[in-house]
Chain A
Amino acid sequence: MTTTVETTPTPRVTDQKVLVQVDDLKIHFPIRSGIFKTVKGTVKAVDGVSFDVRRGETLGLVGESGCGKSTIGRAMIRLREPTAGTVAFDGVDLGSLSSDALRKMRRRMQIIFQDPYGSLDPRMTVGSTVSEPIETHGLAAGQAKRDRVAELLTLVGLDPAYVNRYPHEFSGGQRQRIGVARALAVEPEFIVCDEPISALDVSIQAQVLNLLTDLRSRLGLTYLFVAHDLSVVKHISDRVAVMYLGKVVEIGPPDQLYAAPGHPYTRALLSAVPVPDPTAERKRKRVILQGDVPSPVNPPPGCRFHTRCWLYERLGQPEECRTVDPPLVAISGEHQAACHFAEESVKSDVGVAHMEERSIRHGTPTKALESLAGDAARGNGNQGDPLQTPGGAMEALAASLGAHLPSPGAPVADLGAPGSSAGVPGPDPEAPNVDPQPPAPGTRPS
């Protein structure tokens, strides 16, 4: 880690609630070529971005590949040096810290990666992977360290008996859990989740997503959730920021942002997300953006989106879109968008899925949940199957009916208890074949 000693600018007076403050962040990568490695251009991966992450909230960061969202995530925990601008963590400018001070600060901020195959050292056992942060910060040693590793593995839903196994012996979802355990080992306050589920299969995605939600409420974590999937971001985030070509174009609470997007790009993104409902798919008003995202080496002048903007075309190509880069301005309350014609966008009904017309999910039918609840009440359920236990079935039923019953266990016991609704990981939910006690007979031919 190189130390950059900069003259610390006087920090802005900050809200106590703000945990991470990103101020006019710019990250440019020089393009070098030729024998003398002369700089031929600059990729403006992040080009002037400011936002806050508040303590305890989850901020979703969405955008297409190359928009700079992952780069911001890494810069926020100082894995990338910004070209300009500051990231302040709990009021401390990370750029002003010495490398030792930064190392200490790393206890408070962590990252979970996208690729469950690349983010674990293939030559290290699960035990050494999870204990590395503990050793690095001298948090525990000997038996205390081993106990802590076991506790962490249990926390993420893995069997602690796996400590001596290697990553290649695990499935993608399990590896992702190991990555989460490693991040949690230092008891961080802030975690950057960099596309943590996009490399996983659909059913495994939901398991990991539920795990992250549980850990957040249980450990009081603050997340920056970077993703390209708008549905996932909506599900987990308290606020959402949409990025396009290195800039935040819209930010706000998901209820407002998804229902009435103030930026035409957000609308286009929303309209492009497929909905697993053929009726809704046929009803939606679509806007299909033409062309590709322009190169971040030479972003278009004015509003960066105007080259693909449907609203710009509709409004007869107004000049200011081509000349003036619109700043983020408030639409209503906390909802901000960077568009000269945000009101026009809000008024439009392009792209938004018709939420109000759908009330039931086309997933598990109510009768199935009732059957489960009935089974459980009669006591002939298959004990050990999460959904079969009274709490699980009742809660699932309640959830489907739009109400919430209190979980039968205490909140803390919630996590490992088999009764707490379908998604909660019991010890190692994914690998019945290596589990010493398979949950169901005839689990799988070996």
Chain B
Amino acid sequence: MATISRPVAGEIVQPRRSAGLWSDAFGRLRKNKLALVGLFLVITLLLTGLFGPIIAPWPYDYQDLEAVFAGTGGPLPPLTAGHILGTDQLGRDLLSRLLDGARISVSVALVVQLVIITIGVPIGAIAGWFGARLDNILMRFTDVIYAFPDLLFIILLSVAFRDTAVGQAMDGLLLVFVAIGLTSWVTVARLVRGQMLALKETEFVEAARAIGVRDRRIVMRHLLPNGMGPIIVAITLGIPSAILAEATLAYIGIGVQPPRASWGSLVAEGQKYVRSEPHLVVFPAIAIALALIGFTFLGDGLRDALDPKLKGKQ
């Protein structure tokens, strides 16, 4: 009932300091405890990705064979001197390998989302703004991509381009990341298109057209900033699935090559010893879970903070 909320916020000019919508959103985000937990986890992950190898006690590929042979000859358990999280069967320090793996997860997050933004946002924006036949063509194209089996597509791409410059970059990881991005921009494209379609009909866009603002400027200045909230949320929430996709690929042996390891391939390797040495699976799995939780909480928090329906309730 609008009449109830009116005396609270409707007709009254808020006496507080003038604040932009973005800073309002940040204010709301700060009040959300889960989102702050998410933000903390995400920042920790980013910092680990940046400085992990520096703070790591050992190089990720150093084999502490002495310690291994001093023990049972198998992987060292956690809390062994010098190896807090233990080692694998080759005596490589698990903590150091996890810290190095964080790099891969962070790069996955960045590269994949970059690909998604550069492909998904323009396609969605063009389809939504121009509509009609162009919309139809672009959307059927996205349907095809959507329907194509992701895994097959990624494997095909990584095989086809293995010997090119892109295929060689970052030990072949870049190609895998790009391939993941190429299969997952569809959701964002659809979201952006939906946003464009809804915003295109608003009166403020009509007003801009009446003024004679050029199409490109309307899209850049009115549509995208207003559609930004849900896009940011989608991208934040998309990062966990990218990290998961990388882990899945690593698990089946695509992507990162030994001796480097991502969290996914660590799980894959550790699985062999899961009965006797569960820590080799548990710690990478915890790392993956924390990263996913971090981005998910942050994404949910952003969604609440940026939701225009909540405006005025504050």
Instruction: Answer whether A and B touch in the complex at a CB cut-off of 8 Å.
Output: yes
Question: B-contacting residues of A (Cβ < 8 Å)?
Answer: 1, 74, 77, 79, 102-104, 106-107, 109-111, 113-115, 118-125, 132-133, 136-137, 164-166, 168-172, 174, 179, 182, 186, 201, 431, 433-434, 446
Stretch at the interface among B5-13, B47-55, B83-91, B162-170: B5-13
Known: A166-B21, A171-B11. A136 touches B213 (CB 8 A): yes
> Considering the chains assembled together, what is the distance between the CA atoms of A174 and B213 in angstroms?
24
Stretch at the interface among B36-44, B114-122, B203-211: B203-211
Q: How far is the CB of A164 from chain B (nearest CB, A)?
A: 6
> Considering the chains assembled together, what is the distance between the CA atoms of A376 and B215 in angstroms?
55
A residues near B311, Cβ cutoff 8 Å: 122, 168
Whether B18 sits at the interface, judged by CB under 8 Å, is: yes
Instruction: From B13, B211, B225, give the contact of A182 (CB < 8 A).
Output: B211
> Considering the chains assembled together, what is the distance between the CA atoms of A102 and B204 in angstroms?
19
Q: How far is the CB of A316 from chain B (nearest CB, A)?
A: 47
A residues near B20, Cβ cutoff 8 Å: 125, 166
Q: How far is the CB of A112 from chain B (nearest CB, A)?
A: 9
Cβ B11 vs Cβ A201 within 8 A: yes
Cβ B204 vs Cβ A431 within 8 A: no
Cβ B13 vs Cβ A77 within 8 A: no
> Considering the chains assembled together, what is the distance between the CA atoms of A286 and B207 in angstroms?
40
B residues near A201, Cβ cutoff 8 Å: 11
Q: How far is the CB of A436 from chain B (nearest CB, A)?
A: 13
Q: How far is the CB of B250 from chain A (nearest CB, A)?
A: 40
Cβ B207 vs Cβ A179 within 8 A: yes
Known: A118-B202, A122-B226, A122-B308. A106 touches B13 (CB 8 A): no
Whether B200 sits at the interface, judged by CB under 8 Å, is: no
Instruction: From A104, A123, A169, give the contact of B13 (CB < 8 A).
Output: A169
Question: A-contacting residues of B (Cβ < 8 Å)?
Answer: 10-15, 18, 20-21, 202-204, 206-215, 217, 221-222, 225-226, 308, 311-312
> Considering the chains assembled together, what is the distance between the CA atoms of A147 and B279 in angstroms?
69
Q: How far is the CB of B202 from chain A (nearest CB, A)?
A: 6
Nearest CB in chain A to that of B14: its residue: A169
Instruction: From A1, A123, A166, A446, give the contact of B18 (CB < 8 A).
Output: A166
Q: How far is the CB of A128 from chain B (nearest CB, A)?
A: 9
Instruction: From A111, A166, A434, A446, give the contact of B207 (CB < 8 A).
Output: A111
Could you show 20 A-B contacts with beta carbons less than 8 Å apart? Answer: A74-B206, A77-B210, A102-B212, A103-B212, A111-B206, A113-B206, A118-B204, A119-B204, A119-B207, A121-B222, A122-B311, A123-B222, A125-B20, A132-B211, A133-B211, A166-B20, A168-B311, A182-B211, A186-B211, A431-B13
Q: How far is the CB of A249 from chain B (nearest CB, A)?
A: 27
Known: A120-B204, A121-B222, A122-B21. A137 touches B212 (CB 8 A): yes
The 10 closest A-B pairs by CB, nearest first: A106-B212, A119-B203, A103-B212, A133-B211, A121-B204, A113-B203, A171-B11, A118-B203, A123-B225, A431-B13
Cβ A132 vs Cβ B18 within 8 A: no
Q: How far is the CB of A254 from chain B (nearest CB, A)?
A: 27
B residues near A174, Cβ cutoff 8 Å: 13
> Considering the chains assembled together, what is the distance between the CA atoms of A433 and B14 in angstroms?
9
B residues near A124, Cβ cutoff 8 Å: 221-222
Q: How far is the CB of B291 from chain A (nearest CB, A)?
A: 31
B residues near A114, Cβ cutoff 8 Å: 203
Cβ B202 vs Cβ A433 within 8 A: no
B residues near A123, Cβ cutoff 8 Å: 21, 222, 225-226
- The A contact surface, by secondary structure, is loop
- The B contact surface, by secondary structure, is helix
B residues near A137, Cβ cutoff 8 Å: 211-212
Q: How far is the CB of B285 from chain A (nearest CB, A)?
A: 41
- Excluding A79-B210, A121-B204, 8 further A-B contacts by CB distance (< 8 Å) are A74-B206, A106-B212, A107-B212, A119-B203, A120-B204, A124-B221, A168-B311, A168-B312
A residues near B213, Cβ cutoff 8 Å: 132, 136
> Considering the chains assembled together, what is the distance between the CA atoms of A122 and B10 in angstroms?
15
A residues near B209, Cβ cutoff 8 Å: 1, 79
> Considering the chains assembled together, what is the distance between the CA atoms of A166 and B311 in angstroms?
12
> Considering the chains assembled together, what is the distance between the CA atoms of A115 and B13 in angstroms?
18
A residues near B212, Cβ cutoff 8 Å: 102-104, 106-107, 133, 136-137
Q: How far is the CB of B228 from chain A (nearest CB, A)?
A: 8
Cβ A172 vs Cβ B18 within 8 A: no
A residues near B210, Cβ cutoff 8 Å: 77, 79, 106, 109-111
Q: How far is the CB of A48 from chain B (nearest CB, A)?
A: 25
Nearest CB in chain A to that of B130: its residue: A2
Q: How far is the CB of B1 from chain A (nearest CB, A)?
A: 16
Known: A122-B226, A172-B11. A115 touches B203 (CB 8 A): yes
> Considering the chains assembled together, what is the distance between the CA atoms of A369 and B214 in angstroms?
52
Known: A1-B209, A115-B203, A434-B13. A168 touches B21 (CB 8 A): yes
Most chain A CB within a 10 A radius of its CB, from B10, B211, B221, B222? B211
B residues near A1, Cβ cutoff 8 Å: 209, 215
Known: A118-B203, A166-B18, A166-B21. A136 touches B13 (CB 8 A): no
Cβ A79 vs Cβ B206 within 8 A: yes
Q: How far is the CB of B204 from chain A (nearest CB, A)?
A: 4
> Considering the chains assembled together, what is the distance between the CA atoms of A187 and B196 in angstroms?
30
B residues near A111, Cβ cutoff 8 Å: 206-207, 210
A residues near B225, Cβ cutoff 8 Å: 121, 123
Cβ A171 vs Cβ B10 within 8 A: yes
Nearest CB in chain B to that of A428: its residue: B13
Most chain A CB within a 10 A radius of its CB, from B212, B215, B222, B312? B212
> Considering the chains assembled together, what is the distance between the CA atoms of A425 and B18 in angstroms?
23
A residues near B13, Cβ cutoff 8 Å: 169-171, 174, 431, 433-434
> Considering the chains assembled together, what is the distance between the CA atoms of A182 and B12 in angstroms?
22
Q: How far is the CB of A78 from chain B (nearest CB, A)?
A: 9
Cβ B15 vs Cβ A446 within 8 A: yes
Most chain A CB within a 10 A radius of its CB, from B10, B11, B222? B11
Q: How far is the CB of A127 from chain B (nearest CB, A)?
A: 11
Q: How far is the CB of A98 from chain B (nearest CB, A)?
A: 13
Cβ B206 vs Cβ A171 within 8 A: no
A residues near B11, Cβ cutoff 8 Å: 171-172, 201
B residues near A120, Cβ cutoff 8 Å: 204, 207
> Considering the chains assembled together, what is the distance between the CA atoms of A125 and B221 in angstroms?
12
Q: How far is the CB of B230 from chain A (nearest CB, A)?
A: 14
A residues near B211, Cβ cutoff 8 Å: 106, 110, 132-133, 136-137, 182, 186
Nearest CB in chain A to that of B205: its residue: A121
Q: How far is the CB of A119 from chain B (nearest CB, A)?
A: 4
